[in-house]
Structure 1
Amino acid sequence: MYLLKVFSIVAITSAINAQFRSGSCHSRLTVQCSCPPEWQLWGNECYRLTPSPHTWDDAKSACQDMGGKMAAPRSLEEMNVMVELARKEHSTYRAWIACNDKEVEGNWECDGQEGSEPFLAWYAGQSDNDKGNQDCVRITVTYNDRMDDVSCDLSALAFCVRRAACTHSLIQLRH
Structure 2
Amino acid sequence: MYVKLLVWLTALLVDSCCFGVVASVDQRCYTFIYDDSSCPKTWLNWGNSCYKITETRFTWSNARDECRNLGGVLAAPSSDQENEFITQLLADGIVWIDCNDQDVEGTWECREDNAEVAYRNWYDGEPNNGAGGKYEDCAVVSIWNNKRQWHDLSCIHRLERAVCKMAGRPVLPV
TM-score by length of 1: 0.70
TM alignment of 1:28-67, pairs within 5 A: 34-67=38-71
Deviation at 1:133, TM superposition (A): 1.1
Tell me which protein shows more helix as a share of its residues.
Answer: 1
C-alpha RMSD over aligned residues: 2.2
Instruction: Report if the CA contact (8 A) 1:33-1:44 is conserved.
Output: no
Q: Give the alignment's TM-score, normalised by structure 2.
A: 0.70
Q: Compare relative contact order (CA 8 Å, sep 6+) and give the higher one, 1 or 2.
A: 1
Q: Residues 109, 168 of structure 1: CA spacing in aligned structure 2 closer, same or farther, 3 A cutoff?
A: same
1:105 is paired with a residue whose SS is coil
Match of 1:159 among 130, 148, 163: 163
Provide the C-alpha distance between the structure 2 equivalents of 1:124 and 1:33, rounded to a whole number of angstroms.
Answer: 39
Closer, same or farther in 2 for the Cα pair 1:43/1:33, shift >3 Å?
A: farther
Greater radius of gyration (CA): 1
The Cα offsets for residues 28-84 of structure 1, whole Å up to 9 and x where unpaired, read as xxxx96111110101110001111110000000111111111000000101111111
- Aligned match of 2:100: 100
- Please list, as runs of the form range in 1=range in 2, the aligned pairs for 1:8-157 lying within 5 A after superposition: 34-87=38-91, 92-112=92-112, 118-131=118-131, 132-142=134-144, 144-155=147-158, 156-157=160-161
Report how many aligned residue pairs link the two structures: 135
The separation in 1 between residues aligned to 2:44 and 2:110, in whole angstroms, is 22
Which ranges of structure 2 fall in alignment gaps of 5 or more residues?
1-35
* Cα distance in 2 between the residues matched to 1:152 and 1:119: 21
Distance 1:117 1:70 in 2: 13
- Per the TM alignment, residue 118 of structure 1 is displaced from its structure 2 partner at its CA by 2.3
Aligned partners of 1:161, 1:106: CA distance in 2, in Å? 26
1:22 matched to which residue of 2? none
